[in-house]
Amino acid sequence: MLMVDLIRKKRDGGKLTKEEIEYMVKGYTQGEIPDYQMSAMLMAILFRHMDPEETVELTLAMMNSGEVLDLSAINGIKVDKHSTGGVGDKTSLVLTPMVASLGVPVAKMSGRGLGHTGGTIDKLESFTGFHTDISNEQFLQNVSKIGISIMGQTANLAPADKKLYALRDVTGTVDNLSLIVSSIMSKKLAAGADAIVLDVKCGNGAFMKTEEDATELATSMVDIGKRLNRKMVAVISDMEQPLGYAVGNALEVQEAIDTLNGRGPEDLKELCLTLGSQMVYLAGKANDEAEARQRLEQVLDDGTALHKFADFIEAQGGDREQVYHPEKLPKATLTCEVKAENDGYVEKIRCEEVGNTSLLLGGGRRSKTDVIDLSVGIILKKKTGDQVSAGESIATLYANDEQKMKEAAERLYQAYTFSERKTEPGKLIKKIIR
């Protein structure tokens, strides 16, 4: 079998077989197929596409390119959650202790952020001493003992995806449905969950800009999971404006703690209840989604989820007292109020620009080697549809560099569009695909 023959086959619109896809993925992962040939194949796939069977085989080959976690030692149905990412998305920090409180084992692998916001692991490292570099044995033990553990994605988990994504990023071949689906699902499947709940964002702050594109992606991922005997649900959620009010690692952690205390923003709480009810139902811990939601509301109201979060933080070396006293989390030295210039209403927030403002302050990474400043970020005071008066604060910036803060203030103000008439925000939950 020769790679050049497979490139020609796909270039001419042919369908790759299981054996050909396995040969291609294995050869590239092991360094036997060079970048220039794989680049040609990726471009052929971009223009000629893959059918559902090819996409399944590509996902499986990438999943099996490295370690596949065995979670069979953990009792019960293991449910994982994946978000396609957005600005202010601290959902995992609230959601995982909620569902773990109801006896649903949460064995989750998460990554660090690259771009305008930090990842789940970056946010969690706001807790003094918290770490995710734990062994597989410790990971499984923590899930069995307290119901939740989050570890970093190991180099051995779907290594083909790591190589292929880096190549796609520099060859203009990111925007292909089969390549996106196989990238996400190969990692999720290798992590060993029995059921997967997907939070697929759409809007100006998301990878998928339209509801139609988000639906197509979600439907494809649900289909792949079902073909591979996983229970699957996808929730299409809005990312036309940031989720909640906090953007920035320690600030988002504090907002997550507020939500676990029953006083967080309504949109964050609603999304967590929607995703959580799907997870609890798929795990067989409720007769229907309504019962699951009721039980999740109960663990928020009575403090069970908050205490579960503290147990989780402590089990991975963090200071549980910071859960109960979030004022001890990292603090920026400078603050700045961004004020409205005129009376009116917030018509629109360019969500991605809010994220880029946080990046400018140091709250994200431009490259994988960058060190994140966990203390910086933004607290929004006004969101879409809110009335504003001239001179009123629309956001507070938290910074450690005066020049960066000045630049960030100008950039954040430009992210807002104002009008004389009230605009209603878009619906948070667009649809659910089962």
Q: Is 112 a catalytic residue?
A: no
CA dihedral 21, 23, 25, 30 (to 10 degrees): 180
Boundary residue ending a domain (324, 349, 381): 324
Whether 285 and 402 share a structural domain: no
Beta bridge partners of 233: 197
205 domain residue, yes or no: yes
Do both 391 and 344 map to the same domain? yes
Q: What is the mean pLDDT of the chain?
A: 94
User: Residues 91, 26: one domain?
Assistant: no
Query: Which of 324, 359, 389 is at the close of a domain?
Result: 324
- Please check whether residues 244 and 366 belong to one and the same domain: no
Choosing from 161, 199, 267, 373, the catalytic residue is 161
161 is catalytic: yes
Rounded mean pLDDT, 243-272: 97
Candidates 82, 188, 293, 308; catalytic one? 82
Provide the CATH number for the domain around residue 17: 1.20.970.10
Quick check: is 348 in a domain?
Answer: yes
In a domain, 91, yes or no: yes
Q: Which of helix, strand or coil describes residue 335?
A: strand
What is the average per-residue pLDDT within 383-391?
Answer: 97
Nearest to 311 by CA among 78, 153, 90, 106: 106
Question: DSSP letters along 162-230, please?
Answer: HHHHHHHHHHT----HHHHHHHHHHHHHHTT-SEEEEEEEESTTSSB-SHHHHHHHHHHHHHHHHHTT-
Q: Which one of the listed residues 162, 187, 201, 231 is annotated catalytic?
A: 187
> Dihedral sign, CA of 199, 202, 203, 207?
positive
Looking at the fold, whether 134 and 245 belong to one and the same domain comes out as yes
Q: For residue 59, tell me if it sits in a domain.
A: no
Q: Of 277, 146, 159, 267, nearest to 203 (Cα)?
A: 267
Q: Over range 295-320, report the average pLDDT.
A: 97
Same domain for 302 and 345: no
Q: Give the end-to-end CA distance of the chain in Å, rounded to a whole number.
A: 39
Q: Answer yes or no: do 346 and 397 share one domain.
A: yes
Give the model's confidence band at 113: pLDDT under 50 very low, under 70 low, under 90 confident, else very high. low
The CA-CA-CA angle for residues 261, 302, 320, to 5°, reads: 55
Query: Are 272 and 390 in a shared domain?
Result: no
DSSP lists the bridge partners of residue 419 as: 345
- Residue 118: the pLDDT is 64
Question: pLDDT band at residue 89, thresholds of 50, 70 and 90?
Answer: very high
Looking at the fold, whether 335 and 264 belong to one and the same domain comes out as no
Task: Note whether 120 and 263 are same-domain residues.
Answer: yes
Ranking 141-145, 149-153, 252-256 by mean pLDDT, the lowest is 149-153
pLDDT over 70 at 85, yes or no: yes
Instruction: Give a yes or no: residue 337 inside a domain.
Output: yes
Given 101, 110, 178, 183, which residue is catalytic? Answer: 183
Question: What's the whole-number mean pLDDT along residues 322-344?
Answer: 97
Is the pLDDT reported for residue 16 higher than 60? yes
pTM, 2 dp: 0.92
pLDDT (mean) for 51-74? 94
Could you tell me the residue range of the domain that residue 385 belongs to?
A: 331-419
Determine which one of 108, 168, 201, 285 is catalytic. Answer: 168
Decide which of 296, 324, 352 is a domain's last residue. 324
Measured in degrees and rounded to the nearest 5, phi and psi for residue 120 equal -55, -40
For the chain, percent of residues with pLDDT exceeding 70:
98
On whether both 295 and 346 belong to a single domain, the answer is no
Q: By the 8 A CB rule, do 191 and 212 touch?
A: no
Q: Report residue 359 as tokens.
A: 């990046």
Q: C-alpha distances in angstroms, 169 versus 59, 158, 179? A: 18, 17, 12
**Is the same domain home to 301 and 173?**
yes
Average pLDDT estimate for 84-93: 92
Dihedral sign (CA 63, 48, 231, 145)? positive
The answer to whether residue 333 scores a pLDDT higher than 90 is: yes
pLDDT at 165: 87
Q: What is the pLDDT of residue 154?
A: 74
pLDDT computed for residue 115 by the predictor: 58
370 among known catalytic residues: no
Q: Which range, of 87-91, 154-158, 167-171, averages the lowest pLDDT?
A: 154-158
**Could you tell me the pLDDT band of residue 368, with boundaries at 50, 70 and 90?**
low
Enumerate the β-bridge partners of residue 196. Answer: 80, 232
Is pLDDT of 182 > 80?
Answer: yes
pLDDT value of residue 59: 96
Rounded mean pLDDT of 138-146?
A: 93
Confidence of residue 116 (pLDDT cuts 50, 70, 90): low
187 is catalytic: yes
Which amino acid is residue 283, in one-letter code?
A
pLDDT at 258: 97
168 is catalytic: yes
Q: Which two tokens stand for residue 347?
A: 């018509």
Domain count within the chain: 3
Q: Is the dihedral of CA 65, 66, 71, 77 positive or negative?
A: negative
Cα–Cα distance measured from residue 332 to residue 399, given in angstroms and rounded to the nearest whole number:
5
What CATH number is associated with residue 347?
A: 3.90.1170.30
In a domain, 72, yes or no: no
In a domain, 20, yes or no: yes
**Measured between alpha carbons, how far is 396 from 79 in angstroms, rounded to an integer?**
37
The distance of Cα 60 from the centroid of its chain, to the nearest Å, equals 22
Question: What pLDDT score was predicted for residue 156?
Answer: 85
Q: Is residue 90 part of a domain?
A: yes
pLDDT of the residue at 84: 87
Cα separation, 266 vs 379, in Å, equals 15
